[in-house]
Amino acid sequence: MPKFETARLVPHTPDQMFDLVADIEQYPRFLPLCQNIGVRSRREREGKTLLVADMTVAYKLVRETFTSQVLLRPDDREIDVSYIDGPFRYLENRWTFRPVGEGCEVRFYIDYEFKSRALGLLMGSMFDYAFRRFANAFEDRANVVYGQPRATGARS
């Protein structure tokens, strides 16, 4: 039952980082292993958005598609992902974005297990590697979308 959690300080606002992570249709452009995303449905109610989406991940000759429910809560600056169908026994994922100084703390948590032990052995190490690179991928993407943060001058 692999789990991964990380927290990073980034020089972008919580709203910017929330919007970047919430824009799941852009993931294939920059996210490791993500080959395709298709949004099946999108419903908005009371300031929240509920998506059902298919994500196709690929590595070498292995290609898997899974379906998730994504709950976007912009007022709370949180994104919760619940697994619906695909190669996992379960998958839970949460993003939170909290203001820190002029930037924000981005927390990423994921807990998952493959249904098939063989697929887990084949894809498990690549998923672990990809999840560890997610934070970098999103920060790099934020720098492209919102601009590179300005370096602060040295104090004398």
Indicate whether 93 pLDDT > 50: yes
- Reported pTM: 0.87
| Rounded (5°) CA angle 150-155-156 | 150
pLDDT band at 152 (very low <50, low <70, confident <90, very high): very low
Which residue type is seen at 109? Y
Question: Looking at per-residue confidence, does 121 or 3 come out higher?
Answer: 3
The span from the CA of 145 to the CA of 127, in Å, is 25
What domains, with CATH codes, occur in the chain?
3-146 (3.30.530.20)
Tell how far CA 73 is from the center of its chain.
14
